[in-house]
Amino acid sequence: MSDLILALEGTDAGRQVAMGLALLAALLHAIFGALQKGRHDPWISRGAIDVFMILLSLPVALFLVPRPEPQVWLVLAGAMVIHFVYKLGVALSFSRGAYTVVYPVVRGTGPLFTVFGAWAVFGEVFSPVQWLGVAVLLAGIFGLAVYNLIHIDVGRETLVPALLFAVATGAMVALYTTYDAYGIRLSPDPFTFLAWFFLLTSFDFPILAAIRLRRTGLRHPVGPLALRGVFGAVVAFGSFGSVMLATRLDKVGEAAVLRETSTVFAAIIGWLVLGDTVGPRRAALMILIALGAVIVEMGG
């Protein structure tokens, strides 16, 4: 599998595969966000997911992939810090604001910062048409956030801090996207980086979740929480793994923009699962997001 990924790098076929991986990451990331924001406490949900990410990635890291190179170990150490801060931001945002308000802000802030990060680190340049696509996509994402902010009467008393945390978390999305792209490109075997990345970045929230359970006295049924943890871990592997492979195969900025069509999937999930209403205005904004992503891809 690693040989196939390496053979696709820098080819037209690799670009098509990268596009598919980025869109898959978008769908899976929206599902992942809904899992963390569901009926369980976001901190506890993420802790349960990370427990199963450790259990599933440990045998892969130890027995199925080569050991990381010395320089890759250093990058993995940095990834542990960056993703810990990112996960903190997500938990703080989701615990204070409605999913359909917070999620578009987090995802809308990320691609704009990532495009600049990809330019600074990898020398990637967007064409004028692609910048138009970014503008269209961001208009749709932030328009959706504003619409939800006006019409959804959930958590109004904590909405301002939720939105501030969401913007800061969006900046962390850009940082980890650029940083992880650097790490997976640095590693001779991309699956070595992925396996050890998932293992090492999953130890933090189980500890925080245990502390939160002890302090708050919250009780969660073990069965449903474990099921959410297993499903969430599998979805996380698919989501983060897909976008990281996409950034190895093609431009980091394009993968980041395509992934943010997750906002469309999140709105659909909010409608189907969380009981949100999707009217013609929200539908038009979602079409705008998808149109922006198409312009970015075609403009390249």
Domain ranges for the chain: 2-299
Q: Which long-range contacts (CB under 8 A, 24 or more apart) does 6-14 make?
A: 6/190, 8/249, 9/248, 9/249, 14/249, 14/250
Rounded CA-CA distance 197/237 in Å is 10
Please tell me the distance from the alpha carbon of residue 120 to that of residue 56, in angstroms, as a whole number: 35
Q: Are 100 and 152 in contact (CB under 8 A)?
A: yes
Mind listing the pLDDT tens digit for each residue in 98-149?
Answer: 666 777 777 777 777 787 778 888 888 888 888 888 888 788 877 877 776 7
Q: For the segment 56-94, what is each residue's pLDDT rounded down to a tens digit?
A: 999 999 999 999 999 999 999 999 999 999 988 887 877
DSSP 13: H
**Token pair recorded at residue 189:** 């075997």
At residue 192 the predicted structure's pLDDT band, cuts being 50, 70 and 90, is: very high
Q: Which residues contact 143 (CB under 8 A, 6 or more apart)?
A: 285, 288
